Structure formats: structure tokens, C-alpha cells
Chain A
Amino acid sequence: MFELCLPAILGGKCIPSAALFGQLLIGLINGSFYALLSLGLAVIFGMLNIINFTHGAQYMLGAFTAYIILQKTGLGYWPALIIAPLIVGVLGIIIERTMLQWLYKLDHLYGLLLTFGVALIIEGIVRNEYGSAGLPYTLPDSLRGGQNLGFMFLPNYRAWVVGASLVVCFGTWFVIERTRLGAYLRAATENPTLVRAFGINVPRMITLTYGFGVALAAFAGVMAAPIYNVSPQMGAELIIVVFAVVVIGGMGSILGAILTGFGLGVIEGLTKVFFPEASNTVIFVIMAIVLLVRPAGLFGRRA
């Protein structure tokens, strides 16, 4: 057992190595949400060239849909984990068909403004229906309790969150980078006209991509429901942090979005131990540093 200390100039705070492992693990859990959300943003951006400001609201909708499913049908966490992303994904597709598709020929900024407006509408409606304090959603029974790892108590649910998001993230990466479907997608981003000439329905592909990105956000929302407060404002500020994550990683690369998400979660977790006061600004500070050193982002290509 040894202790890890910061240099005196940084305050000289010490924690035992065992506690450090615990904190690193917790940071990874935290990072799961960043990774899932920034992955969704990156997928949507890659195909639609739109920054989906509604992402935070759709994450929130995922959690609320899980709650509504429980209330109306009695179906618990596991079915909700599948159904809620589907429902929210379909809502996303409706948004894409009725609104977003008219903006592709315009400046990308209009996409940002539109999705910002949609986010306000969703948040407002949910708040009017369900109030602002939040709604109860408890842990699924099968994931109650936890494991004593010696250096920390790891709740089973947290282990599941890390595991599930790793699988979903790398699954998405695999589909996009290593399969034929992914190849079409990537080709359509580069040159839609040519891909259409090969007889591939590009608009439908765009619609489905948006639906999938949105479903990812909703999936993260359902995962968050048992451990975070299910309230209308749960996504609004998170999305700003995720924007910073995306700027740091650069949206050019799927893998980059995933790695940056997990990595920043860990850094934020460590900040909570050493400088808790700065834990909500650390990601923005890192963003500023990255912009100075590598303006295109860690994994980005210079436009």
C-alpha cells in the first residue's frame, strides 16, 4: 500500500493508491456517458453535417420514456433499454423527415439553430407534463448490490454501465469502419451523388443514421435513469460538456469520439479527488489547451 501525492505546488494532496484505483474506475463509468453521447453526435455529424443540439433533450427523453413505459405497461428496466431507444429513435426520424431534411442545402449553422429550438420545445413539454423536480426510477433488482474489489465497493450496476457502453461503442465502431454497410455510409459522406448513382438510397440512409444517433442518446438516457435524477433539465448542461468533448476529440473519427469520451471521464474523475472545485471546468480547460496545441482536435483532420 502506498500513497499517491500531488506535487506541493499543486496542493500536495495525497490519496492511497487503492482509493486511486477506485476513482479511476469511477471515472471510466462517468466517461461511458460522454462516450455514448459524443459517439452519437459524431455519427450524426459524419452523415448529416449537423450538430445535433437536441442530443441532450433526446438523452433526457430516453430516461423519461423508460419511466413512462414502467408506469403505463409495468415493463421494467430491461425491456425499456430496448423499447425506449426505439421510440425516441422514431421520434428522431420524424424530426429529420419533417424539419432537418430541408436544411441540408443551407449553412450548417441553421441545423444547429433548429435543433436548439427543438431541444427547448421537448424540454418545455416534458416539464409541463411531469414537473421539474424529477421522477423516481430505481435500480433493476438483478443489478442491485455490488462487489467488494478490495480497494473499493463496485456496485453491480456501475460495472454493467461500463460493460454495456463499451460493447455498444465498439459495436458501432465496428459496423461503421469494418462492414459493407459502414463502407456505404462512409462513401455517402464523401460523395453522396456518386453513391446514389450506385443505386443506394442515400436520403433513407441519412434518415436512419439520424435515428440511430438519437437512439444512442436515448440508450444513454435509460442507462442513466436509475443513477441520475430523471428531470427535464438532465440533458441540457450535459450536452455542453459533450460538445467540449467532441471539440477535443474532433468529430472526424468514431474511435476518437469513443476514446476521448472515456478518457475525459477518467480525467474528470481524478479532478474530483484532487481539485473538486474545478471538476466541472476541467474539460473546458482541456479543450482550450487542445485548441492551442492541436487546433483540429486530438483525432481530427484539418478541414
Chain B
Amino acid sequence: MERVTETGAQTMPERHERSQWIAFAVMVAALLAAPFFVYPLFVMQALCFALFALAFNLLIGYVGLLSFGHALYFGWASYLSAYSAKAWGFTPELAILTGTLTAAICGLVAGSLAIRRQGIYFAMITLALAQMMFFVALQAKFTGGEDGIQAVPRGYLFGVIDLRNDMAMYAVVLVVFLFGFLFIHRIIHSPFGEVLKAIRENEPRAISLGYKTDRYKLIAFVLSATLAGLAGSTKAIVLQIASLTDVNWPMSGEVVLMSLVGGLGTIFGPIVGAIVILTMQYKLAPVGEWVLVIQGVIFVACVLLFRRGIVGEIAHKLKIRL
């Protein structure tokens, strides 16, 4: 991948850290205020997708692996979260945990297959595996086929707090999102994250330094799948629905698009990308016919003209890392 955020990385670490903290503070402030100005359901959905895109970006931005099948983890987590909440009467936090765990297991299995090949083969394998699991979801009884699992109860958090209140729900989503964000930030800046970046830059060299790169790649894959699952599980509780849309290949494409628009390999990019793409889907709902074409044009434009993405461009202009 083209490295877009590395300029001056070693020379001004403090400056980068400061700008990231400022950006983080601005983001938290905006998110605290958002539900009072914007339709809360929309913000919650945007946060779930932002977390999904962050999880995806962990893989492509920091390990250089393009997964074209992330809908698998998002969708299956959302199914299990919805099902456990509805059929087994799990409390929301347990339902989300169940979904997330499902995604982790799926990620472990799919990941150990996919990392056996590199580059575009990796992308094709993840896509094929996700398509297979889409068919399984379509045919399985518990997923409700094309009806999906509907009317999922939001329930009571820890059995106490009623999440039918949108503001209470929003608080939960915000906490989940911030947890995911900080967790990813921590991974990237840990020694483990440094090894991942080394693999991205030059895998043979990492191997010759004695790192078992396959193991690192697999752990990164599972982490990414798990976080995607966290996003999917939460989404199922928020929107009270899990459906085939979540697990089908266009969803995998959408998360790629979100990260690409925001900026691959930037920590804030996927969030901006998710908001931009979701807003676009809403604004374009009345001109539905052109949604597909416009998405395609954005893809092409991003690849040809703005490979840094929105956040990447801003960071580049300001000579900071975001």
C-alpha cells in the first residue's frame, strides 16, 4: 500500500501525539452533543459502522491485508446477538458479547485459511469465504431467511437500565465505540502493532528477524474480526434487526469504501468515511437509482485521485498524523 501518513514520523512524535489528542477531544465533544442535534438513531448507526470500518482498517491500514469479506464477521455477530437477545432472552450486554465471540471464532477459522495466501489472493479468499457463509445464513432456520431476525428487544442493560430510551441506548453505543477506538489505538501503538507495521512494510525482512509473521497476521485478523463483530452485535441491538444485508457481499464492499474515503491507515479516517457514506445513503434515498453509480464513482475517484482519503489529505496538508 502507499504509505500516506509516515512523513516525518520519527521527527515529531510529540506533535503527532498532541494533534491526535486534540482530534480525539473534538470527536468526543461532537459525539456527546450529536444526539441533541441529529436524529439519534442515525448517529448510533453511524457509530456502529464507524467501529466496523475501524476494525477493517486495522487490517488493511496496519498489516496491509485487504479483507473483502468483513461482512461475515459483522453479519454473523449481528445474527447471534439478535438471536440470543430474542430467543434466549439474554440481556443486551450478554447478547453483544455472544455476537462478538461468534465473530472471533469465525475470524479464527477464516483467518487461518486466508493467511495461507498473500495479496490479492487473500482478498479473493476472504470474499469467497464470506459468500459461503452468506449462503449458510440464507438457508439456516434461525436467521429467518430474507425476513431476518426482527423486533429484537433492546432489553435492560445489566437487567436494570431500560434501553428502549434512545438516550440510554446512545450512551451504551458511545461507550462501546470509544472502547473499540481506544483499544485499536492501543494495539497500533503497542510493540505488537510495531511488528504488524513491519510485516506490512516488508514481510520477508520481518521473517528473517525471527518473527512468526503468520501468527501475527492471524492475531491481527482475529482482532479485526472480533471488533467488526462488536460493531455488528451492537447494531443489531440498536436497530433491533439482523438481516441478510449485514452478511452479504455489498456490505463488505461498503466497509472498504468507508475506509478508503476516510483514509486507509489513518486512525480517524474510517470514522469520517463511515459518516460520509451513511449520510450519502440517506441523502440519496430519494434518488435511489443512482446510489450504485455514485458509490462506484467515489471508489474510482478515491483510487485514482485521493488515495490518502479525506483525513489522510487533511493530515498531509497540516503535516500531522491523524
Contact = CB atoms under 8 A, between A and B. Distances in A.
Tell whether A pairs with B: yes
A3 interface: no
Interface string A263-303: 00000000000000100110011011001100110000001
Contacts, number: 128
A125 B136 CA distance: 31
Contacts of A125: 293
Interface in B1-15: 1-2
A121 B294 CA distance: 7
Interface in A114-161: 114, 116-125, 127-128
Interface stretch (A6-14, A17-25, A67-75, A242-250): A242-250
Given A114-B303, A284-B129, 12 more contacts: A103-B303, A113-B302, A116-B253, A118-B300, A119-B296, A124-B296, A247-B121, A247-B128, A281-B132, A281-B136, A287-B125, A291-B117
Contacts of A241: 128, 131
Contact of A121 (B1, B128, B139, B300): B300
Interface in B106-156: 113-114, 116-121, 123-125, 127-129, 131-132, 135-136, 139
Interface in A65-120: 99, 102-103, 106-114, 116-120
Interface of B: 1-2, 60, 64, 66, 68, 113-114, 116-121, 123-125, 127-129, 131-132, 135-136, 139, 249, 253, 256, 260, 289-300, 302-304, 307
Chain B binding surface SS class: helix
A285 B298 contact: no
Contacts of B260: 113
A240 interface: yes
A51 B1 CA distance: 16
Given A112-B123, A281-B132, A292-B113, A128 B296 contact: no
The 6 nearest A-B residue pairs measured at CB: A117-B299, A120-B296, A124-B292, A121-B296, A124-B293, A284-B132
Contacts of A280: 135
B132 A285 contact: yes
B120 A112 contact: yes
A158 B297 CA distance: 38
A53 to B, nearest CB: 9
Contacts of B131: 237, 240-241, 244, 284
A243 B253 CA distance: 15
A60 to B, nearest CB: 13
B249 to A, nearest CB: 7
B292 A99 contact: no
A106 B2 CA distance: 7
Nearest to A121: B296
Nearest to B289: A128
A127 B289 contact: yes
Given A109-B119, A109-B123, A287 B128 contact: yes
A240 B1 contact: no
A24 B131 CA distance: 25
A123 B297 CA distance: 12
A295 B125 CA distance: 11
A102 B307 CA distance: 12
Contacts of B304: 99, 102-103, 114
A124 B292 CA distance: 5
5 contacts: A99-B304, A117-B298, A240-B127, A247-B128, A292-B116
Interface in A2-58: 51
A237 B130 CA distance: 12
B293 A113 contact: no
Contacts of A247: 117, 121, 124-125, 128
A103 B120 CA distance: 14
B138 to A, nearest CB: 9
Contacts of A102: 304
A111 B135 CA distance: 27
A116 B250 CA distance: 11
B113 A114 contact: no
Given A116-B299, A117-B298, A243 B119 contact: no
B296 A244 contact: no
Contacts of A121: 292-293, 296-297, 300
Given A108-B119, A247-B121, A277-B139, A120 B132 contact: no
A118 to B, nearest CB: 6
Contacts of B127: 240, 243
A297 B293 CA distance: 35
Contacts of A296: 117
A123 B292 contact: yes
A284 B136 CA distance: 12
Nearest to A277: B139
A226 to B, nearest CB: 27
Nearest to A232: B292
B132 A51 contact: no
B42 to A, nearest CB: 24
B120 A109 contact: yes
A107 B63 CA distance: 13
Nearest to B125: A247
A119 B254 CA distance: 14
Contacts of A127: 289, 292
Nearest to B2: A106
Contact of B128 (A112, A118, A128, A244): A244
Contacts of A292: 113, 116
Given A110-B307, A277-B139, A281-B136, A243 B292 contact: no
